[in-house]
Amino acid sequence: MLSVARLPAQGGGGKSAQQKLYPKITRIVLRGNSGIPGSSVVVPIYFTPAQGVAVGSIDLKVSFVSANLKFDKLQPGAGIESGDVKWESEVSTAKTPGAGIENTSLKIKILPSSSSKSIPEGLLGYIILKIAETGRAAKINLATTAGATEFRSNKGLSNVQSVDAQVEVLAPSKEPAVTCFFFSH
């Protein structure tokens, strides 16, 4: 079983660092990770609404070449575990016409659990990916696109930014340069 450490909630009444840097942009950020063939990697999904904006839904799409990397599952973060947020996901794979390269597309819809709360800022969850046993050393881009709607009005937000991540498949004899804190506790 995969054990994931909980991160402390952001906030405390003040503005988050992301809101200070990008006050007018709603951001969905994936963080990269690395691993050796046969291992699992954890890719956190963070959410920061634009200053003064309550978000009612998020549509996130993550696409990647999946010859060496397979989607395993989603694991909830603090907002989803608390019951404030729910999510739905859909995974599809297809081969690139002509080249025959397998690509995976993961679509995630994030919504508040009740009609009285917007999506809270912070760690939404984790994408768990499995590196193939026969995986070769490579850097695999997780391309993201995102959209969001305003809470209650369902009006599409225009300033939504998603940040790509990268999973590095290390050679089996190589150790990651940074130890992943998820697995060190």
Element (H, E) at 80: helix 78-81
Domain 25-169, second-level architecture: Sandwich (2.60)
Per-residue pLDDT at 132: 94
Residues 19, 174: Cα–Cα separation, whole Å = 37
Residues counted in the chain: 185
- Given a cut of 80, whether residue 158 has pLDDT beyond it is yes
Sheet with 138-150: strands ordered across: 33-35, 165-169, 138-150, 55-65, 102-112, 85-95
- Given a cut of 70, whether residue 136 has pLDDT beyond it is yes
Tokens describing residue 56: 């009612």
* pTM summary value: 0.79
Per-residue pLDDT at 29: 95
Per-residue pLDDT at 5: 31
- Given a cut of 70, whether residue 111 has pLDDT beyond it is yes
Per-residue pLDDT at 15: 52
- Given a cut of 50, whether residue 3 has pLDDT beyond it is no
Q: Predicted confidence band at 185 (pLDDT cuts at 50, 70, 90)?
A: very low
Residues 89, 30: Cα–Cα separation, whole Å = 16
Per-residue pLDDT at 7: 31
Residues 169, 32: Cα–Cα separation, whole Å = 11
Residues 44, 127: Cα–Cα separation, whole Å = 6
Strands 26-30 and 160-163: parallel
Per-residue pLDDT at 71: 96
Per-residue pLDDT at 116: 76
Torsion of CA 61, 64, 69, 71, to 10 degrees: 20
Q: Where are the domains of the chain?
A: 25-169
Per-residue pLDDT at 13: 39
- Given a cut of 50, whether residue 150 has pLDDT beyond it is yes
Residue 107, Cβ density class (10 Å: 0-12 exposed, 13-18 middle, ≥19 buried):
middle
Least Cα distance to 63 among 146, 152, 170 occurs for 146
Per-residue pLDDT at 18: 56
Tell whether the torsion through CA atoms of 159, 111, 77 and 168 is positive or negative.
negative
- Given a cut of 60, whether residue 2 has pLDDT beyond it is no
